[in-house]
Structure 1
Amino acid sequence: MSRHRSRTIGDRSLAPETLMMGYGYDPALSEGSIKAPIFQTSTFVFRSAEDGKRFFEVAYGLREKDPEEALGLIYSRINNPNLEILEDRLAVWDGADKALVFSSGMAAISTTILALSRPNDVVVYTAPAYGGTEYLFDRILPRMGVTTVSVADVIPPRTNFTPISLAEEPGAALADVIENAAYLAKRKGGRLAAVYVETPANPTNKLIDLEATSAAIKALEQAEAPALLVDNTFLGPLWQNPLQHGADLVLYSLTKYVGGHSDLIAGACMGRADLMARVAEMRTICGTITDPHTAWLLMRSLETLHIRMERSQSNAMELVRRLRGHPKILEVLDAGGAESSPAQQAIFARQCTGAGSTFSLRLKGGEAEAFRMLNALQLFKLAVSLGGTESLVSHPSSTTHSDYSPEAKIQCGIGDNLVRLSVGIENVDDLYADLVQALEAI
């Protein structure tokens, strides 16, 4: 299928927000429809038996695809026009060789890790991370013979608990863990398969230095270098581009900012062509691809992504400014913010172009005080997830990170007094009024 793929007008490179309106789609192929229709079909008709043979040879890796050859449409578990257009557009934002879309963020993470690891391998990951990610690494992968090693480094300056610190800054601790994990893998007869980083961390907004992490990986004496994987859900794709800082693959919960309307579940992986080929193979066999209707909704959302993320961030930063120093708040946790360490601020300056619109508050008190505040909110909706047009609030310790042990919560800085805010696009003065009256309930 021939599709519109031009990213330039003359010698001018077009911006991602411009390309979202038509890149990867030719209206002439769909009766002139200005928007791509939903290709709600399970299978596709081959023009000839020879076409069918050629398509399957490429799909199943029996031969290399010619440079200008498109993967022919076969079956919607393998490919579909809606997904192909969406994946082309997603790859634009991060400058990736290839993007793949999945039925959820966890499907993207799980499929990618399965594609890259095998028994006796070791995977390093940073903590805290999204609860589902932690569960996969901590409980599922070890059953499959993959050893997982977590690294956490949290030094909160004002909390009601005593943290355990691995190092003064996360980059130093992570470099040591990477070296030790590679040695462990060699002793087990495997490899260090991947280093998985979530930055900013959920829900503390702790940043990991990607360039330092990439350098630590490159310093290893290992025949096949481990892949650096980055969950970019909190800031991407507008405010952080991990591929520019040494990452090999970038992962997203598209449910969040990219979907942006709290009406779909999806995920994505994108990055280096050779690694993406392995991920694509695993997705085909595991069947973790998303559906055409969800892909169509995501294409709709991409057209307004930059506007929504800009407005949400503007609202969030104004709320952060007003809430700092509030008598009921111990600390405001925003990425690279004024209350973070100089090293964290330096990472932010090198790596990020914005702090996004999700931040956390450490309140004076504990769970009882946090619950009183949460129950008093009127505009902020009490729900997990983030990145939608509406403002949400959650209590990580009792919900998304409830399966953490007490020791892990302490080490990762997730106290009972922590609440996480995902700021939407409402009027910022209204949102501030809601937070102020709720804080009075503490």
Structure 2
Amino acid sequence: MTTNYNKKAIGEHQLKPESLMMGYGYDPQLSEGSIKCPNFQTSTFVFKSARDGKDFFDVVSGRRVLAEGEQAGLVYSRFNNPTLEIAENRIAIWDGAEDCAITGSGMSAISTTLLALSRPGDVIVYSEPIYGGTDTLINGMLKQMGIHAVGFMSSEGIDAYKAALDKAKSMGNISVILLETPDNPTNNLVDIAACREVADKIASDQDVAPVIAVDNTMLGPLWQTPLAHGADLCLYSLTKYVGGHSDLVGGSCSGSKALITRIRRVRNSIGTTMDSNTAWLILRSLETLKIRMQASNEGAAKVVAFLNEHPVVTRIDYPGLLKESDPQYAIYKKQCKGAGSTFSFEVAGGEAKAFAVLDKLKLVKLAVSLGGTESLAQHPAAMTHSGVPKERRDIIGITEGLIRISIGIEDPEDLIADLKQALED
């Protein structure tokens, strides 16, 4: 890569992220003039000399810190790979971050981050509800390793957050504050800036300040930028909106160079690195991220308007329906640039009716995941959040009649016609 392809401005004009996705960090002349970055599908790289090999290993292992403007040499694709690095640089642009590390899945991004920042005896404070896989990791596997967890209901606001911090402080050092906003699947919002302010006040009580990490998967980089509101780290399941075609699995974590260096070192050690072919697909997807997310966002608003008038639908969890009287409205207006295209709606009749609706869908696919070009619907209580105990599902609003839907880029009128016939008795 040459400096000509690492420019973010033309003179005084700052280029937008969607423009930078077309070539940032890639020099075609280093790849036979190929207009698109190739997939560097290789496990290892040839050193010019034994001295280079020694130096490159010192850098990737953290024994030597790169000087300003210096680039790490290529060693082995578990550590670094040109396709991965270009994808990381472009995701960092969307997040407004200094650096980014991409991983083999969204869960590997979360698990690698928590393992890098937590030690036995530490406490993780997290918002609820949270993705079922994350819930299982925090309250199951990490608990077995002596890492404790305290949750708080995101719908109960800053007071619930403060109470969780107080409880956590009595248990040990708070290593990470993990927020999922909007949450999955009920779309409750957490005020990132307010959480930052409170966390800063308790930082002096600890040897190391808590790291605020935000899972931004539900809104993606277009509709929310957590780092701009005080978060230290921004996490994604790249499988969702960033990948956007339901043909890959990946994750990422963006933040300061200091934090990402710590996370990347653990990633390289435990092998949660993304493969080069997936990174190449991510590069493809980043070029159309904006137009895909805009189209699905517009379509979701029309589908919500239809569902909001349907007599069988008893509840819709969608930020765009928030009223000024709702405490979360102010958070939404301050923090979000759009309502997104994944939301949940509840139907009268519990699981039986929800299953009947899902089974009758023809255009909308019955499948988990979200953020793809096609619309997907699923039943959280029986599927993505089935590992969460029922008593906790009841508390956090994951009812038996709840359906989560992710709107794709189909014509909204076609989606409405499909939902209309599915909702009929």
* 1:198 matched to 2:187: no
TM value normalised by structure 2: 0.97
The correspondence for 1:257, drawn from 241, 251, 267, is 241
The whole-number CA distance in structure 1 between the counterparts of 2:211 and 2:24 is 29
Which amino acid in structure 2 is aligned with residue 296 of structure 1?
W
The whole-number CA distance in structure 2 between the counterparts of 1:338 and 1:193 is 33
Which amino acid in structure 1 is aligned with residue 170 of structure 2?
Y
Residue 47 of structure 1 is matched in structure 2 by 48
Quick check: 2:117–2:176 contact (8 Å CA) kept in 1? yes
Helix, strand or coil at the partner of 1:330: strand
1:362-412 CA-to-partner distances (Å, cap 9, x unmatched) read 111211111111111111100000000000000000001112212101111
Aligned-pair distance for 1:339?
A: 6.2
1:30-56 CA-to-partner distances (Å, cap 9, x unmatched) read 000000111111110111122112211
Residue 327 of structure 2 is matched in structure 1 by 343
Residue 396 of structure 2 is matched in structure 1 by 412
* 1:89 matched to 2:90: yes
Quick check: 2:322–2:328 contact (8 Å CA) kept in 1? no
TM value normalised by structure 1: 0.94
Helix, strand or coil at the partner of 1:252: strand
1:182-220 CA-to-partner distances (Å, cap 9, x unmatched) read 2321xxxxx110010001000000001111111111010
Residue 209 of structure 1 is matched in structure 2 by 191
Residue 2 of structure 1 is matched in structure 2 by 2
Structure 1 residue runs without a partner (length 5+): 155-168, 186-190
Quick check: 1:337–1:345 contact (8 Å CA) kept in 2? no
Matches within 5 A, 1:150-189: 150-154=151-155, 169-185=156-172
1:239-267 CA-to-partner distances (Å, cap 9, x unmatched) read 00000111001100000000000000000
Structure-2 change in CA distance of 1:309 and 1:153 (3 Å) = closer
Residue 158 of structure 1 is matched in structure 2 by none
Residue 75 of structure 2 is matched in structure 1 by 74
Matches within 5 A, 1:195-274: 195-220=177-202, 221-274=205-258
Which amino acid in structure 1 is aligned with residue 8 of structure 2?
R
The whole-number CA distance in structure 2 between the counterparts of 1:228 and 1:309 is 26
Matches within 5 A, 1:279-358: 279-338=263-322, 342-358=326-342
Structure 2 residue runs without a partner (length 5+): none
1:145-169 CA-to-partner distances (Å, cap 9, x unmatched) read 1011111254xxxxxxxxxxxxxx3
Which amino acid in structure 2 is aligned with residue 170 of structure 1?
G
Aligned-pair distance for 1:336?
A: 4.9
Which amino acid in structure 2 is aligned with residue 313 of structure 1?
N
Which amino acid in structure 2 is aligned with residue 2 of structure 1?
T
- Matched positions, count: 422
Helix, strand or coil at the partner of 1:34: coil
Matches within 5 A, 1:92-111: 92-111=93-112
Which amino acid in structure 1 is aligned with residue 83 of structure 2?
N
Which amino acid in structure 2 is aligned with residue 218 of structure 1?
D
The whole-number CA distance in structure 1 between the counterparts of 2:242 and 2:289 is 6
Quick check: 1:331–1:339 contact (8 Å CA) kept in 2? no
Quick check: 1:336–1:345 contact (8 Å CA) kept in 2? no
The whole-number CA distance in structure 2 between the counterparts of 1:245 and 1:182 is 24
Residue 373 of structure 1 is matched in structure 2 by 357
Which amino acid in structure 2 is aligned with residue 140 of structure 1?
M
Structure-2 change in CA distance of 1:249 and 1:94 (3 Å) = same
Helix, strand or coil at the partner of 1:37: coil
The whole-number CA distance in structure 1 between the counterparts of 2:223 and 2:12 is 26
Quick check: 1:332–1:339 contact (8 Å CA) kept in 2? no
Quick check: 1:178–1:216 contact (8 Å CA) kept in 2? no
Aligned-pair distance for 1:2?
A: 3.3
Helix, strand or coil at the partner of 1:397: coil
